[in-house]
Amino acid sequence: MASSLALLFLGLLGSTCALPPPRISFLLNSPERPLVHFSLTDVSNTTTLLLSNDSSTLYVGARNAILLLNVSRSDVISLRSKVTWSPSQTDTRDCVNKGQDPEGDCQNFVHVVQRVNSTHLYVCGSNAYNPQQAFIDMELSVVQQDKARGRCPFSPFERSAAVIIG
């Protein structure tokens, strides 16, 4: 009985390993999509990425900024828009008073960039240990902003995942 259960388990495990990867991926030096380097001198910590449905736009959550990049051409990446999203002086001062590093911790690290619908994105950032969320249109104009405790990490070093339902 135990051996048949083990075989069944291995059979199920083997079938799940055969599924395709859930993300779009390209091999390094792939002729279908060569990897192009893009950087801006005043932008760092670009760890949150969202690719548009048509694969032509890449939304990037960074330290104190959200970028909209045109990635429609395989040989060049260009900046279409950038919104600066820094913590207020009050939030930065409160963060420093709590013993955090003003340059390392007391910035707004954007942890979540998620599509809400065809016209708006939801973004959430650490905001100097005082999480903030915002709804922005697809061209990066802030529509609404408020507190986001429980929706986004306080720390710039914690990772998060987001799912929007409904």
**DSSP 8-state class, residue 6:** H
64 neighbors 45 (Cβ within 8 angstroms): no
Select from 120, 110, 118, 113 the least CA-distant residue to 156: 110
Q: Is the pLDDT of residue 22 over 60?
A: no
Angle (nearest 5°) at CA 96 between 91 and 102: 90
**pLDDT for position 10:** 39
User: What residues does 65 pair with on adjacent strands?
Assistant: 62, 84
What number is the average pLDDT over the span 122-127? 91
**pLDDT for position 74:** 75
Distance CA 80, CA 95 (A): 32
What's the pTM? Answer: 0.74
Convert the pLDDT of each residue in 53-110 to its tens digit: 888 999 999 999 999 999 888 788 899 999 999 999 999 999 999 999 988 889 999 9
Distance CA 62, CA 150 (A): 20
